[in-house]
Amino acid sequence: MLQGTLPLDFSQCQRWRNGCERWRPAGELFNPRYASVQRIDTATAKAFVQDHHYSHSFPASRVNAGLFVKKPFQKEILAGCATFSVPMTQAVVPALLDGLQPSLGVELGRFVLLDEVEANGETWTLARAFKVLREALPAIRGVVSYCDPEPRYSKTGELVKKGHVGTIYRAHNATPRGRSKPRTLLLAPDGSVANERALSKLRNGESGANYVEVMLRSMGAEARRLSESGADYVRWLIDTGFLRRKKHPGNLAFSWNLK
Give residue 161's pLDDT: 78
pLDDT digits (tens, 9 = 90+) for 26-66: 667 778 899 999 999 999 999 999 988 877 788 999 999 99
DSSP 41-67: -HHHHHHHHHHHSTT-----EEEEEEE
C-alpha span between 139 and 170 (Å, rounded): 24
Give residue 8's pLDDT: 44
C-alpha span between 50 and 19 (Å, rounded): 8
State whether the Cα torsion 191-196-197-202 is positive or negative. Answer: positive
**Contact at 8 Å (CB) between 105 and 97?**
yes
Give residue 14's pLDDT: 67
In the chain, which stretches have pLDDT less than 70? Answer: 1-27
> What is the value of pTM for the model shown?
0.80
All domains of the chain, ordered by start, with CATH?
12-182+250-257 (3.40.630.30), 195-242 (no CATH)
* pLDDT > 90: percent of the chain: 61
